[in-house]
Amino acid sequence: MHQLLPANLKESTTIVAIAPDPLDKLGDIIPKVKARTDDKFLITLLADADHATIDRYGLLNEQAATRGRFLPHPTTYVLDKKGKVTWKFTEIDYKVRPTNEMILTALKKLP
């Protein structure tokens, strides 16, 4: 995603990804992503091991939680420089994700 950003957006955009993984498992995804790109890994990965942040955002998948899996409904937000949500994509079906183009369009609208 980050390498797709035009130079001016690279400068002004941070990509942060939050998962309900413990910190020591979080980095396991990095080689997987690196295998698909030559660029540096420029996404900040954060561990929400007790899913408190997922809960605060209202994203807990209750069905999975009843089976002891505390997963979020995958959700992407675009935030402006003040932390205000200017775009959001959330979907109960985890296979449905926003395209990079959709996110880019939202970012380009920001000052």
Partner 1 sequence: MNNTLSRRASLFAMAGLAVAQQPSPSDLNRVKVGDLAPAFNLPSAAGGNLTLQQLRGKNTVLVFYRGYW
Contact residues: partner 1, CB under 8 A: 1, 9, 12-21, 23, 25-30, 44-48, 51, 53-62, 65, 69, 71-88, 90, 92, 94, 103, 107, 110
Q: Which is nearer to partner 1, 25 or 38 (CB)?
A: 25
Q: Minimum CB separation from partner 1 for residue 7, in Å? A: 14
Whether 66 and 59 have beta carbons less than 8 Å apart is answered as: no
Q: Minimum CB separation from partner 1 for residue 52, in Å? A: 8
Q: Which is nearer to partner 1, 7 or 92 (CB)?
A: 92
The contacts of residue 93 (CB under 8 Å, 6+ apart) are none
What is the maximum alpha-carbon separation in the chain?
44
Instruction: Tell the residue number behind the tokens 């890994």, with chain if given.
Output: 41
Alpha carbons within 13 A on the beta-carbon side of 22: 2
Q: Minimum CB separation from partner 1 for residue 60, in Å? A: 4
Q: Minimum CB separation from partner 1 for residue 77, in Å? A: 4
Number of other residues whose CB lies within 10 A of the CB of residue 49: 14
